[in-house]
Amino acid sequence: MFRRLGIPFGGYVYAQPSDGAAEARVLWAECKRLGWTGVAPGCDIESDPKIHIWSNAADKDDGRAYCSQMRQLGVRPAVYMNASLEPATRPDLWPEVPVVWVARYGLKPETPRNGVQYTGH
């Protein structure tokens, strides 16, 4: 249906602390297989106490490994995170230049810093 309507779409992975480069390879292979290459493939970096908690070092290291691998595959990556994690990791300054997708929650969501786009959730 999306293709018929001309709406681009792509893949997304809910990352867990492990091997960001491997997650990128698997996600991009699936995106290509399914033809989901219309938007930057997204890597969701957020903690869920029921599954795992990211450390500031791990979220940045895995996120950058994901982005670096996507760049090596010839694709501009996207990273998704909440507004409290974004200032701690500063993906807008990563040399891999990902699309930065930041969630906004609540009735009075956080105000983004200059140059960072926040989206509704």
Q: Is residue 73 part of a domain?
A: yes
Domain count, the chain: 1
What domain range is 22 assigned to?
9-120
Contact status, residue 119 vs residue 104, Cβ threshold 8 Å: yes
Q: Tell me, what CATH number does 33's domain have?
A: 3.20.20.80
Regions of the chain where pLDDT drops below 70: 1-2, 106-121
pLDDT at 85: 86
Contact status, residue 80 vs residue 44, Cβ threshold 8 Å: yes
Sheet containing strand 78-82, edge to edge, reads 12-14, 42-44, 78-82, 99-104, 118-120
Q: Is residue 1 part of a domain?
A: no
What is the pTM assigned to this prediction? 0.84
pLDDT at 114: 58
Alpha-helix runs per DSSP H in 1-121? 2-5, 20-34, 56-72, 86-89
Q: Is residue 2 part of a domain?
A: no
pLDDT at 121: 41
pLDDT at 6: 85
Q: Is residue 28 part of a domain?
A: yes
Gap between the Cα atoms of 101 and 82, Å rounded:
9
pLDDT at 83: 82
3-state DSSP helix/strand/coil percent for the chain, to nearest 5? 35, 20, 45
pLDDT at 102: 87
pLDDT at 110: 59
